[in-house]
Amino acid sequence: MAPVRVRLAVTTAEAAVDAAIAGVGVTRLISYQVAEAVARGALQIILAQYEPEPMPVSMLHAGQGILPLKVRSFLDFAVPRLRAAMVAERLNPGREAR
């Protein structure tokens, strides 16, 4: 198999999205990184049949003792939103959760 020739190397997902929108080429990113561009029609998902299954997300606190109130508040805020976004993504791939 011939090696893939890279046309552009970037260090951020945002730069990869911008380059793909500009027509530089194809990029491989995580769904949440391209959700907005896909939702507005600036990008299309290709090779969807080769996408891996979603991976579970865990939120852990490695501290000792009592969980700080700020951390508990963040978890209470983030967990239901992440769950809703993951369910929405599973039902409508490429669509941004609201």
pLDDT for position 67: 84
* pLDDT in the model for residue 97: 42
pLDDT given at position 96: 46
For the segment 37-60, what is each residue's pLDDT rounded down to a tens digit?
Answer: 998 999 999 988 888 887 777 877
pLDDT at 93: 62
Q: What number of residues does the chain have? A: 98
- Mark residue 11 as left, alpha or beta (left: phi above 0; alpha: psi -120 to 50; beta: remaining): alpha
List Cα–Cα distances, 4 to 7, 8, 19, 85, 88, in angstroms: 9, 12, 18, 34, 34
pTM check: above 0.85: no
The pLDDT value recorded for residue 94 is 54
Positions in the chain whose pLDDT score sits under 70: 90-91, 93-98
